Structure formats: C-alpha cells, structure tokens
Amino acid sequence: MGQRSINQPMTHQRIIGLTGGIATGKSTVSRYLQEAHQIPVLDADVYARQAVEVGSPVLGAIVARYGAAMLETDGSLNRGRLGEVVFNDAQEKAWLEQQIHPVVRQCFQSAMADLADAPIVAQAIPLLFEAGLTDQVTEIWVVACIHDQQRQRLMERNGLTVAQAESRIASQMPLAEKIALADRVLDNSGDLETLFRQVDQALEQGG
C-alpha cells in the first residue's frame, strides 16, 4: 500500500497528507490532530476559498467563462451556482481545478516555510491525488466510510437530495482507488472514539 513519489520531500519532518472522499470525516480528523495532539493542520479548502476571493485572478477567470451570474450581489462567488455547473460537467470541473490548484500549491509552500521546525505537519487536501500534490507529503492518510454513510452525511451537511449527493460523490476519484494508494486508512464507519484511536495509533507507529 502507498506509492511514494520519487519527488517526495527530502526531510525528517513528517508531513501527513490527509485525504478521503467528500463527507467521510477529514475535518473531524483535522480537528482532532489540532486539539488533541497540537499538530498544525494546513487546509487546502481554506486556500481554495482564498483563491477565488473578490478581486482575485481566478474569480475574474470564472466570471469571464460563465458570466456575472456566478456572483453574489456583493461581488463574491456564488459557490452553489458554480457547483451546479462543475459537479455535472467533468470538463468544466477540470478547467476550474486548473485555475485553483496552482494557487493552492503556492499557499502550501508558503505555509510550510513557516513550519520548518514543526516535527509533524498535516495537510488536509481533499483532492490530494487529483491535484497531483502527493509529492509534497511524506505519508498519506485516507479517511473512509461506507458509501451509504458518506451519502447520508453529505445530504445532511449540505442539504442535498440523493441525486445531488451521488453526483458530487461520483465527480471525485473513487474512494477505493484512494484507499489503494494510502499508507494509512482511517475507518470512520463507527463511532468517534474508534476513529480517534486509529489516529493515535497512526501517529505512534510513524509513517
């Protein structure tokens, strides 16, 4: 399990690439790493939001491609409207990711420069494989759960229909493929205590 890149960082620092499927529990693990273990967690979703802030080149490119209908009245991005476009069109999703991923990578590089002395850093990256960011981590943890749980959690979290939830799940790299490439699989099909125990073990046993 786990296919390490030849471009893997040459460092004694543990850099955990935390990923999984949508709504499988990545944020729960991130919070636990921060609160229980005081491990810094860098979040790709935060950087992706920064990439499309008002006045950013990426937001300008989105408006140029899809029109001003993608904006809220205050000029910010209407994420729901954009989501309806990209989650139902693989070509448009790929285009959007090509705009955002380079910005996200740069944000990670800047943040890691400030954490050079931290023995362990986690990078929470939902699209770790899809964005080609495996070269910036030293080990990969995949948070997984059974499909029915994933769909239900996504529906409850985002207020989606079954069809909308399935569309978002299907738009991602299959979870089984991510599991096959993982160094650690954290099974979030049970209770939180069981999940957190797996995180503790993964930290103790090393990458």
Convert the pLDDT of each residue in 66-103 to its tens digit: 999 999 999 999 999 998 899 889 899 999 999 999 99
Q: With contact defined as beta carbons under 8 Å apart, do 57 and 189 qualify?
A: no
On whether residue 204 sits in a domain, the answer given is: no
Question: What mean pLDDT value characterizes the chain?
Answer: 93
Mean pLDDT along residues 143-163: 96
CA distance 81 to 178: 28
Total count of domains within the chain: 1
On whether residue 6 sits in a domain, the answer given is: no
For residue 206, what pLDDT band results from cuts at 50, 70 and 90? confident
- Token pair listed for 91: 């070509």
Mean pLDDT along residues 14-40: 97
On whether residue 10 sits in a domain, the answer given is: no
* Comparison of pLDDT for 190 and 7, the residue scoring more: 190
CA distance 4 to 13: 15
Mean pLDDT along residues 175-199: 97
On whether residue 156 sits in a domain, the answer given is: yes
Q: 131-149: per-residue pLDDT in tens?
A: 999 999 999 999 999 999 9
Q: With contact defined as beta carbons under 8 Å apart, do 40 and 168 qualify?
A: no
Whether the per-residue pLDDT at 1 is higher than 60: the answer is no
For residue 12, what pLDDT band results from cuts at 50, 70 and 90? confident
Whether the per-residue pLDDT at 8 is higher than 90: the answer is no
Mean pLDDT along residues 185-193: 97
Could you tell me the CA-to-CA distances from 2 to 140, 180, 204 in Å, in that order?
7, 7, 18
Q: With contact defined as beta carbons under 8 Å apart, do 44 and 69 qualify?
A: no
On whether residue 64 sits in a domain, the answer given is: yes
On whether residue 147 sits in a domain, the answer given is: yes
Range of the domain at 96: 15-196
Alpha-carbon dihedral of residues 26, 31, 33, 39, nearest 10 degrees?
A: 120
On whether residue 7 sits in a domain, the answer given is: no
Q: What is the CATH number of the domain that holds 133?
A: 3.40.50.300
Whether the per-residue pLDDT at 10 is higher than 60: the answer is no
Share of the chain above pLDDT 70, in %: 94
Mean pLDDT along residues 158-182: 94
CA distance 82 to 69: 9
Alpha-carbon dihedral of residues 70, 72, 74, 79, nearest 10 degrees?
A: -80
Could you tell me the CA-to-CA distances from 68 to 26, 55, 63, 166, 204 in Å, in that order?
33, 14, 5, 28, 50
